[in-house]
Amino acid sequence: MGLLRNLGSVARARQILGVAAAAFEISLLLAVLSSIPPVFAVLRGLRENIFALMVWDVLVIVGVFSMLATWAAAAWHVVVDPEVPRVLKLPLVFLLILGTPVAALAYFEFYVRWYRNARRKATPRSSTSAS
C-alpha cells in the first residue's frame, strides 16, 4: 500500500529518472568507446577470458535495463508532474512511448534538469517573515 501511495510523488519520479538516465548515459558512453577500433581490438582479444565476458554481459544487461527504466520513468514523470500543463501530458507521453529511449533522455536533460532548474532560479522566492 505504501508503494501505491508514493506512485504519485514527483520527487520519487525525478529521482528514479535521474538515476536511470545517468546509468543510460554511462552505457551509451561505453558503447561509443567500444566502437573505437583500438578499444574494439582489445575487447575482441578478451573473448577467451570468461570473467571479461561476464563483466561485458553484465554491462550490456545494465545498459538495457537503464534504457527501459529511463523510458518508463520519463513517461511516469510527465504524468505526475503538476508543472507540465494538462493539455501537453498526453502528447508528451505518446512522444516518449513512440519515440526512442533517447527521447526520454532528452526529456530528462532538457526539461527536468535544465529548464526546471533555470525557471526555479529565475522566479524570486517570497519571504515568509512578517513586517
Q: What is the pTM of this model?
A: 0.73
Task: Supply the pLDDT for residue 45.
Answer: 77
Per DSSP, 126 falls in state: P
Residue 29's domain comprises 11-115
Q: Does some domain include residue 4?
A: no
Q: How far is CA 78 from CA 29, 41, 53, 82, 116, in A?
A: 26, 42, 38, 8, 13
| 3 against 108, higher pLDDT | 108
Q: 125: burial class by Cβ within 10 Å (0-12, 13-18, 19+)?
A: exposed
Count of CA atoms in the C-beta half-sphere (13 A) of 20 = 27
Question: Do 25 and 105 form a contact (C-beta atoms < 8 A)?
Answer: yes
Task: Supply the pLDDT for residue 34.
Answer: 81
Q: Does some domain include residue 30?
A: yes
Taking the chain, what is the end-to-end CA distance rounded to the nearest angstrom? Answer: 44
Q: Does some domain include residue 1?
A: no
Please write the tens of the pLDDT for every residue from 46-88.
Answer: 777 788 778 888 888 999 999 999 999 898 888 888 888 888 8
Q: How many domains does the chain fold into?
A: 1
Give me the residue label for grid cell 501505491.
4
Q: Does some domain include residue 6?
A: no
Task: Supply the pLDDT for residue 48.
Answer: 75
Please write the tens of the pLDDT for every residue from 99-122.
Answer: 888 888 888 888 887 776 666 676
Task: Supply the pLDDT for residue 20.
Answer: 92
Q: Does some domain include residue 92?
A: yes
Q: Does some domain include residue 2?
A: no
